[in-house]
């Protein structure tokens, strides 16, 4: 009895698939692609964000230069053979030198983290704007799937008819 029921369910499933096969065969997925890197490079918002990031970066570089100059002075002082320090003074200078090394490393880590955070903060609305434009172009052109052609290995081949980069740039007001 169980075997007969399984056979009936299987037959019903096969019949349903056969009925749906023509429908599945006729529905074609429309696919397009966008070079988001090209779009990003053309956006004035990105250029403005890069100016802000350059300003922040220059501030950090100036501070890092001051720290490295101090590091070099202390290193030269410690390695100067003409200077003979008493043991306690030498130990204190070595501790200060080690503390400066640690401070430089902490500053470098904090600066990199801060720059990355600022970049993410500045780029988030830009990425959203691009994503919204891609969605709008997809709806306008009745595209089901859009791939990013700027990513290595994502799009291996595409015809120029599928390239929606210019349409997205137009939607964003980029010439």
Q: In whole angstroms, what is the distance from residue 150 CA to residue 166 CA?
A: 14
pLDDT in tens, 80-106: 888 888 999 999 999 999 999 999 999
Of 8-22, 68-82, 101-115, the poorest mean pLDDT is in 8-22
Q: What is the pLDDT of residue 4?
A: 58
pTM > 0.75: no
The pLDDT, as a whole number, for residue 70 is: 97
CB atoms within 10 A of CB 34: 27
| Structure confidence at residue 47 (pLDDT) | 92
- Residue 43 sits at the vertex; the CA angle it makes with 38 and 45, to the nearest 5 degrees, is 145
- The model's pLDDT over 148-173, given as tens digits with 9 standing for 90+, comes to 888 776 665 666 777 888 888 888 88
Contact partners, residue 142, CB within 8 Å, separation at least 6? 30
Whole-angstrom Cα distance, residue 119 to residue 135? 24
* Confidence band, pLDDT 50/70/90 cuts, at residue 15: low
pLDDT at 150: 85
For position 43, what pLDDT does the model report? Answer: 92
């Amino acid at each position: 009895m169980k075997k007969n029921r399984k056979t009936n369910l299987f037959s019903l499933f096969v019949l349903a698939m056969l009925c749906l096969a023509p429908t599945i065969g006729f529905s074609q997925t429309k696919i397009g692609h966008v070079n988001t890197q090209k779009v990003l490079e053309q956006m004035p918002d990105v250029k403005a964000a890069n100016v802000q990031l350059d300003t922040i970066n220059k501030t950090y570089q100036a501070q890092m230069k001051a720290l490295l100059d101090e590091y070099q002075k202390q290193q030269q002082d410690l390695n100067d053979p003409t200077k003979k320090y008493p043991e306690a003074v030498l130990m204190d200078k070595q501790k200060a030198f080690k503390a400066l090394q640690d401070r430089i490393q902490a500053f470098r880590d904090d600066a990199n983290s801060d720059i990355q955070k600022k970049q993410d903060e500045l780029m988030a609305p830009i990425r959203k704007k691009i994503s919204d434009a891609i969605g709008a172009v997809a709806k306008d052109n009745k595209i089901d799937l859009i791939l990013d052609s700027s990513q290595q290995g994502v799009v291996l081949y595409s015809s120029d008819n599928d390239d929606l980069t210019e349409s997205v740039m137009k939607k964003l007001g980029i010439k």
